[in-house]
Every structure is written in structure tokens, then in C-alpha cells.
Structure 1
């Protein structure tokens, strides 16, 4: 186990400096000529880092080099399965000492098996990183396209249009455009009869509205048959938006459910409207308006304030073109996110089953 050092006396260069949170900057000197594993001395003590030589570490990050008949990549994997918080020596900021780390007992195979295992996991990590980058790139592309395919502030036309569409988007107050209402739930909330049982249905609260224009697969609560007439039913395919707490989460419901009073449901529209396009209009509008919401820790937007929100809408045919495009893009992002999650689960499974 080796200690990191202060880097402030060094000049800028191309040697990376690492702290417990990862890369910090680059300098003109190094602490090690061989690859090592970084582990926090203070602060973040449970996030081991693989440090490719040459490198420098600050004094809050130990770096561990391998001895004879030990593969440093295998050591990095061992460090990932150790419960470091169990060895925390402080009552305040989490801390580890060299002595504590050095005395942790573990099992290791012969060097040849270490090599096989580390190659497997490093290959898996490379695949994980590729999928993470793909997800990040798609998210950035989506963000850029939202700015191009929807009008900017105080504009009535987007920068980029589909062929044969050139008319200005029409501005209307939200209350003039759509019919909507808040959800409901019988009081008191904690009454046992209102939850579960035979014929219980999903009950949507703020926590059940995900960030991908969908509801979570399984709502936190189920509303009982007795309570359902006292709530508000939402068919599949309706746009909803959260009005309290995490304001502005939007979903197009993928299954029928009942909704809490913190949820606004768009029941129908006074003009031809494509639901998936409308979901994006509302989401972008709330990104601006939620910053103005009154309240302290828990903010809220009233139905009355909502009715005065101004939105720009094109004709239905253009709505459908844009809405379908973003629906396909969202599906592609979700596909890569699912692949990424499966790879993470695979790595977790293998770490649990290939080590003692």
C-alpha cells in the first residue's frame, strides 16, 4: 500500500492526477511506473479505481501495487467485492488506514487463473463502457434535436422542419387547448381498506412517473376496489404530469391506473392532438415553469396557474411526424439502457459467483 501526495508544487503536464472521485487534472510528474488500484484513505472509501501508469494520486487516495505472483487487475476485482464500509475507522468522515487494508484476509487462485478471470471482467467492463457511451451520445442527440424541432423561446417556428411544413405554430393558453383534471384519493391516506386486495389496480403517485415518458413497471401502491370509485381512473395512452414535489415529470400511461391528487391528467383536447407530441410539449413547458413554482422544500403548481401556460402547437400531421420520431428515439435509448442494465447485472452475478 502506497500513499498519495500533494501535487500543488507540480507543473501542468500529461500525467493524470486521481482523487477518490476519479481524475482531477494532469501534471508533469508521476508517483508510479506500474499499474495500481486506488482506494480511498478518507472520504469515498468504497469506490476502487484502476490506475493505469504513469499516474499521481492525492493524499486521500492510497494506491496498491501488486507483488510477485499477483495480477494487479485481479486485485482490482477483489477490491470491488470487499465491503469497505465495514472497515471504516472513523465516527465522522469515512477513513481507512494502510494497516487495516493490508490485514484484510481474502482468497486468491494461482496467477494463471487470476489472469483468466481478470481478462473476462476487463472485457466485460469495456463492453459496459461502450454501452454507457452509446446511451450518453443518444441522450445528447435527443437534447440537441429537441432544441431544433421545437420553437425556441418567443418563436413560433422551429429551426428544423419536416418537408412540406412551413406554417407558424399556433399559440394558445393551455386551458383553451385541453381538458384536464387532478387525480384524487380517499382520506385518510393511511387507511388499510384503501390498498390492495382482490381487484386492486395500480395507483400512480409522483414516485411512479419515470424520466422516460413512462410510468414505472409496477406502482408503489395498489388501490383497492373499495377506494377506486373515490379516485380518478386514467386509461392507457393518456398524458399525465406531476404537479408537486418533483414537478414536471411527464408520462404517456402504458397501462390503465388510478391517479393521486399530485397528478394532472389530460383527458381530451379541443383540437386534433397527437398524445406523444403533447407529452413533449408539456415536458418542455414545465422545464421552464417549474422554476417559478411557489413553495419551499415541496413545490406545487396549481390547476389555475396551469391553465394560463402558453403553448405552441403545429397542425396534427406535423405533430405526428415529430412525435413518432421522438417515440422511436426514446425506444432506441430504452433498448440500450436495458442492455446496459443486463450487463451490470451479469457483472454483479459473476463477481458474486467467481470469487470466494
Structure 2
């Protein structure tokens, strides 16, 4: 990489995703389709789709839709959860933020295939080879840096949205 944090000079190496995470799989949780009560989230292809009284998985996850227009769109979730069968998940016990940013940069939508409905398979993700630092501390620094940057972008987006609403309200009051 052209840009490095001070103090890190070790080479990056190409690693298979399955070698650096705890698991890559498709959700297998059974739950009531009407599930809206309970303490544990049920994770679907793009977000929480309900709640249940029991959980099947626990930890830090990167998730994506397995099939459809959202196949390859990533989101993060942590905790005790159920995961629907239309969702592929990557579970890692460390540096989940770094892996999330790395996978966004790679754009796993490129792995989707199919003529009608795009499809992302866990088996394809397992074989994915990515360049990454060998130093875990560097991975952590990169992950935190981009997490903080995403947070800052979100804050500014909210402010921008509020200013647009204010402008709209002012325009409607001035030009009746």
C-alpha cells in the first residue's frame, strides 16, 4: 500500500478469507416468520427482520444477502442472534472492522453470479484471496480509522439532511 500508519513496515500478504476468520457460512436458523417478540435479533439479508426467544449464533458478524439485488451488500452485527437461510455470514473473533472495510473495498458483488437473481455463495467467499497486513495491530488501526471515518460521514449526512429539510420548509413559507 502507498499509505501506511507510522510504525508499520511489514509486508502485506495474500491470505484466503477462510484462513483468517472463524467461519463463513449460510444461516440455518429456524424461526417463526411472524417473529417479532423475544430478545434475540433474527438477521436477514439486509438487517434485523424480527426477534426470537432463542439464539443459534453468537459473536461478531459481517453479513450479506445470499441471493437477489442485495447480494454482496454488507452490514455488521454483533451479539447473540439467529440468521436466516437467505443470508451469508462471516464470523470473526478479531479485527471484524478491518475485514469489513477490506471486503467493501474488494466489492464482493463481483462474486455474485446468475442471470436472473444474483447469488453469493459461502463457498466462493471462503476461497476469496485478499491482500492484508500480517501485523494484527496494523489491522486493528486500519479498522478503527475507517470505522471512525464512517461515523463522521454519518454525522455529517444527518446534518445535511436536516439542512435540506430546513431549506425546504423555508422555501415553502417564502413562496406560497
* TM-score of the aligned structures, taking structure 1 as reference length: 0.42
Kept in 2: contact 1:293–1:299 (CA 8 A): yes
Question: Whose strand proportion is higher, 1 or 2?
Answer: 2
Give me the whole-angstrom Cα distance separating, in 2, the residues matched to 1:309 and 1:167.
22
| Alignment counterpart, residue 104 of structure 2, candidates 258, 277, 283 | 283
Evaluate the alpha carbon distance shift between residue 243 and residue 169 of structure 1 in structure 2; reply closer, same or farther with a 3 A threshold.
farther
1:184 and 2:23 equivalent?
no
Instruction: Determine helix, strand or coil for the equivalent of 2:91.
Output: strand
Give me the whole-angstrom Cα distance separating, in 2, the residues matched to 1:205 and 1:354.
45
Give me the whole-angstrom Cα distance separating, in 2, the residues matched to 1:300 and 1:279.
19
Evaluate the alpha carbon distance shift between residue 345 and residue 298 of structure 1 in structure 2; reply closer, same or farther with a 3 A threshold.
same
Evaluate the alpha carbon distance shift between residue 207 and residue 307 of structure 1 in structure 2; reply closer, same or farther with a 3 A threshold.
closer
Shift in Å, 1:173: 1.4
Evaluate the alpha carbon distance shift between residue 224 and residue 296 of structure 1 in structure 2; reply closer, same or farther with a 3 A threshold.
same
Segments of structure 1 that go 5 or more residues without pairing to the other structure are 1-157, 188-192, 209-218
Give deviations 1:161-220, integer Å, cap 9, x for gaps.
122212211222112222232223438xxxxx4324542643322233xxxxxxxxxx4x
Aligned to 2:17: 174
Kept in 2: contact 1:186–1:194 (CA 8 A): no
Give deviations 1:6-59, integer Å, cap 9, x for gaps.
xxxxxxxxxxxxxxxxxxxxxxxxxxxxxxxxxxxxxxxxxxxxxxxxxxxxxx
Shift in Å, 1:310: 0.4
Aligned to 1:223: 51
Segments of structure 2 that go 5 or more residues without pairing to the other structure are none
Aligned to 2:147: 327
* TM-score of the aligned structures, taking structure 2 as reference length: 0.79
Q: Cα RMSD over matched residues?
A: 2.9
Q: Whose Rg is larger?
A: 1
Give me the whole-angstrom Cα distance separating, in 2, the residues matched to 1:310 and 1:172.
5
Aligned to 2:165: 345
Give me the whole-angstrom Cα distance separating, in 1, the residues matched to 2:40 and 2:66.
22
Kept in 2: contact 1:239–1:251 (CA 8 A): yes
Aligned to 1:195: 34
Aligned to 1:301: 120
Shift in Å, 1:279: 0.6
5 Å-filtered alignment, 1:57-72, equals none
For this pair of structures, how many residues does the alignment match? 173
Evaluate the alpha carbon distance shift between residue 176 and residue 234 of structure 1 in structure 2; reply closer, same or farther with a 3 A threshold.
same
Aligned to 1:317: 137
Aligned to 1:58: none
Give me the whole-angstrom Cα distance separating, in 2, the residues matched to 1:316 and 1:175.
16
Give deviations 1:300-353, integer Å, cap 9, x for gaps.
121222211102221111112212211121111111101012223334555667
Give deviations 1:116-158, integer Å, cap 9, x for gaps.
xxxxxxxxxxxxxxxxxxxxxxxxxxxxxxxxxxxxxxxxxx1
1:263 and 2:82 equivalent?
no
Evaluate the alpha carbon distance shift between residue 199 and residue 162 of structure 1 in structure 2; reply closer, same or farther with a 3 A threshold.
same
| Alignment counterpart, residue 243 of structure 1, candidates 66, 69, 72 | 66
Kept in 2: contact 1:197–1:224 (CA 8 A): yes
Kept in 1: contact 2:58–2:78 (CA 8 A): no
Instruction: Determine helix, strand or coil for the equivalent of 1:238.
Output: strand
